Structure 1
Amino acid sequence: MTTIGILDLQGDVSEHLEITKRTLDKMGVEARVSKVKTASEVAECDGIIISGGESTVIGKLMKETGVLDVIIKQNIPVMGTCAGMVLLSKESDYEQPLLGLIDIKVRRNGFGRQRASFEDEIEIFGGNYKGVFIRAPYALEAGEGVDVLAKLDDKIVAVAYKHHIATAFHPELTDDTKIHEYFIKEVLKCVE
């Protein structure tokens, strides 16, 4: 059975767990969704979701636990939101462990600190979407082959590369499942 893991090293991941389950039900896909912490748990997953939180802490814990190496070596599809976008990048404006799976250069807290959090309409996948930006990063640039999915004020806020997707905003804090649907389809392509 296809397994999607929600990386549970730091921060609250319950919203990702719930929306992933709802999305699978909506799509009629049978899959297991669970919180994962260890390298061995991650190794059993067909896809990993890295949620928001503190990217430096998550990155250090991923390195210490061996999770970072397992994701890279097994080429596991990853969806990264907010801090997850930073962790998927090849380069950040802050020295920290990164997966380097998407050729983007990211500015952490690009839209400001916690009190500067906001919601704004963006266009993604041909339609409007309510982006929830909390201490959000953005990509300064995207490398060759990276698909820029959405921008806000000329700042890159969503990208896809191969079977990975990264967003600066929090899709788990909305009722709109289109981002999770995209990721689940990518995971299923890799499982087939």
Structure 2
Amino acid sequence: MLPTPATSNVPVVIGILALQGAYEAHVRMLDVIGAKHRLVRTAADLQTVDGLIVPGGESTTMLHQLQQEEGLWQALLAFVHQYPCLGTCAGLIVLAQQVQPPQASLGALQVRVQRNAYGRQRESRVTTASTALAGGPIEVVLIRAPRIVAWGADVQILAQCDGDPVLVQQGRVMGCSFHPELGKDTRIHTRLLQACEAVKMSPASGS
């Protein structure tokens, strides 16, 4: 059954998939920008939110947990193709259309990603990336990050690091190779909040 968050004058609620991974840092970031949020662990939880963050962590572990929770995988498949979503690091892998090495994914972003392409945990780094977002370069925290190696014509590149896309958007879905929740830059989370607000205000919302 397709999730249908209620449309009203109440503030939007952003869900954070909270089966494992770095979801608590996203909670703190949403608190900073004043966004209401709710942890999502079941299919029923999805029906109470207007957008979703799929956090970093270990993508294969996350997939196992998603598929173990009754009805959650199918509910997510419906949700991510209709409502605003943000996938960070492993969350990008889960949202991608194709993954190398192959694994199941939700197919919400027309990208092919290579898992752990930026090295092991000890090779993680913090750098900056050029971005199409207003406000200048953005801080990039790369931790065993996936690399976007191919993308469709409808995918907009919003930030690049060393020639590689690290932040992309297709329609209402954003994906980034890095962890914006671990820095102080609020632009990506604010962009998600604004997308949720726009959808909720639209007459076609929930259809």
- Indicate whether the TM-score tops 0.5: yes
Corresponding residue for residue 47 of structure 2: 43
Q: CA deviation at 1:150?
A: 1.4
- 3-state SS in 1 of match to 2:175: strand
CA distance in 1, matches of 2:22, 2:158: 26
- 3-state SS in 2 of match to 1:72: helix
Corresponding residue for residue 183 of structure 1: 192
Q: Which runs of 4+ in 1 moved over 4 A?
A: none
Is 1:169 aligned to residue 170 of structure 2?
Answer: no
Instruction: Tell whether the 8 Å contact from 1:142 to 1:148 is kept in structure 2 after alignment.
Output: no
Q: CA deviation at 1:60?
A: 2.4
Looking at CA atoms only, which structure, 1 or 2, has the larger radius of gyration?
A: 2
Corresponding residue for residue 118 of structure 2: 111
Q: How many residues align?
A: 186
* C-alpha RMSD of the superposition: 1.3
Is 1:81 aligned to residue 88 of structure 2?
Answer: yes
Is 1:159 aligned to residue 164 of structure 2?
Answer: no
Is 1:147 aligned to residue 156 of structure 2?
Answer: yes
| Length-normalised TM-score, structure 1 | 0.92
| Length-normalised TM-score, structure 2 | 0.85
Q: Give the letter aligned to residue 17 of structure 2.
A: L
Q: Which runs of 5+ in 1 are unaligned?
A: 26-30
Q: Match for 2:28 among 14, 18, 27?
A: 18
**Which deviates more from structure 2 when the two are superposed, residues 99-108 or residues 54-63?**
54-63
Q: Which runs of 5+ in 2 are unaligned?
A: 1-9, 202-207
Q: Give the letter aligned to residue 117 of structure 1.
A: S
- 3-state SS in 1 of match to 2:137: strand
Q: CA deviation at 1:189?
A: 1.4
Instruction: Tell whether the 8 Å contact from 1:119 to 1:133 is kept in structure 2 after alignment.
Output: yes
Instruction: Tell whether the 8 Å contact from 2:30 to 2:36 is kept in structure 1 after alignment.
Output: no
Q: CA deviation at 1:91?
A: 0.2
% same residue: 33
